[in-house]
Amino acid sequence: MAEKRRTLRWWHILLAVLALAGAGVAFAYQRLSIPLPESALPADYRPDVKNGERMYFAGGCISCHRGIGPFVELPAGGRKMKIPGGEIVPPNITPDDETGIGKWRPIDFLNAMRRGLGPDGTHYIPAFPYTSYAWMRTEDILDLFAYLKTLEPVRNEVPLKTARLDRFALAFWKWLALPPRPFRDLPGKDALWNRGAYLVLGPGHCGECHTPRNGIFLLDRNRWLAGAPLLTEKGDAPSLRGLKKRKRYKDVNDLMQALKYGEAMGYEDLSAGGMGEVQSNLSRLPDADLKAIATYLMSLD
Amino acid sequence: MALATAAMLAGVAMAGGHGGAKKMAATGPIAERQQAMKDIKSNFVPLVKMVKGAQPFDAATVKKNAEIIAAKLQASAKLFPEGSDTGDTRAKPEIWTMSEEFQAIMNTAIEKAKALANVSSPDQLAPAVMALGGEGCKACHEKFRKPKQK
């Protein structure tokens, strides 16, 4: 008799703990799913489409969102890409009302890029490298949105992957992975260096491939750009540290040429493992930005 | 102590094994195509230097080097027998699953190398070099060459 009562009590406590933990998790999940409000948009903002186009190429959106057939030059989506444990199909981000982002408001786009959060509260899978894009300045993100709106709308339905459990867990992962705020210039460094650091860290998302990750896929900030195994195929993205010391590039100008022309000018290590697409996109940036990236990279020991 | 020694020994043994595997791959189509590619590169580099102004333009060198590149590319096309993507190689299996595309890029590269051989004035050089480098070397390596592995 006494024995039985004790068992009952034990279960009650466990249930209570579980219920509390469940409520805690549900509460935390809800908090982590709150989008940025309209007030996050700057009041005096005026779109700069030209700058948006620059962000589009710095960000390499077309590498993943490239369309198929007649739409290869547009981010109409639909091509499979490999991710750890499976595949994913990047969606259509042309401004089509039904199948693209035609009906999105600027705040929806800001939430996607800064928080990895969809207009309906979807937590995006970080194959969409928002963990880097979140470093981008609000104006740059909004300019990019304005640029996307100028593209030809393509009707191409690419539904997001159903992965409810993953997306639930991602809410918590993002809490660890997202940067606390957009990029701020480092005092004591000049404008060129800071521009380069910004482009590499934010839109360029170079760290997503070139920085090693820990067991739960968080970037290891202590080994920033130190080279890492790729998540999309076998092989590594090489280290971008000590490029000067290792005599990979003669000087800033040499690296700038490498980023601009890649293998077209005999720079051999800029093609495989996805780098070829990155380099093609970088080649569309003005020389000043390429010089900034090269200046920043060559400064890393 | 014993464990550390064992680990060290295992390390030595592994290094030995690795060296052996490398030596095995030093003959046959893999090593031959890698040598062909190295020769292609060493003939390509002087032409890039001419474009950059680091070396004076010389039509005879352009012709000679570009013809060697075209010939070596042609030869290398036969050095990718099915299944030679294992061992000490960066050839991707897509070379055989998408063989038409691989062949098409190879043909483009050969064509661009031949066009480069006909360049007779310095202002034609940059576009011809970049066409070979971009639509030939890069186009193929981007799709059909594995990234390095540590």
Least confident span in A79-88, A99-108, B21-30, B71-80 = B21-30
pLDDT (mean) for B81-95: 92
CATH architecture of A191-298: Orthogonal Bundle (1.10)
pTM, two decimals, is 0.92
pLDDT-derived band at A9, boundaries 50, 70, 90? confident
| Chain B residue numbers touching A264 (CB-CB < 8 A) | 129-130, 133-134, 137-138
Q: Cβ distance B140 to B109 under 8 Å?
A: yes
**Could you give the CA distance from residue A271 to residue A277 in angstroms, rounded to a whole number?**
8
Residues of B in contact with A265 (CB under 8 A): 48, 51-52, 129-130, 133
* CATH hierarchy code of domain B2-10+28-144: 1.20.120.10
CB contact under 8 A, A273 and B147: yes
Res B125 pLDDT > 60: yes
Written as six digits, the tokens of A204 are 């360029």
Distance separating alpha carbons of residues B134 and B140, to the nearest angstrom: 9
Mean pLDDT of chain A: 95
Tell me, what's the pLDDT at A222?
95
pLDDT in tens, A33-51: 999 999 999 999 999 999 9
The minimum CA-CA distance between A227 and chain B, rounded to whole Å, is: 9
How close B132 comes to chain A (CA, Å)?
Answer: 7
Q: How far is CA A297 from the centre of its chain?
A: 19
Residue ranges covered by each domain of chain B? 2-10+28-144
pLDDT in tens, A194-219: 999 999 999 999 999 999 999 999 99
Could you tell me the pLDDT band of residue A186, with boundaries at 50, 70 and 90?
very high
A&B contacts, CB < 8 Å: 69
Q: pLDDT tens digit string along A83-113?
A: 998 999 999 999 999 999 999 999 999 999 9
- Give the residue extent of every domain in chain A: 48-177, 191-298
Distance, in Å, from the CA atom of A261 to the CA atom of A148, rounded to the nearest integer, reads 26
How confident is the model at residue A169, as a pLDDT? 94
B149 in reach of chain A (CB within 8 A): yes
Candidates A169, A142, A137; CA nearest to A32 is A169
Q: What is the ipTM of this complex?
A: 0.89
Q: What is the DSSP letter of A203?
A: T
Would you call B44 and A266 a contact, using CB atoms and an 8 Å cutoff?
Answer: yes
What share of chain B has pLDDT > 90, as a percent?
Answer: 77
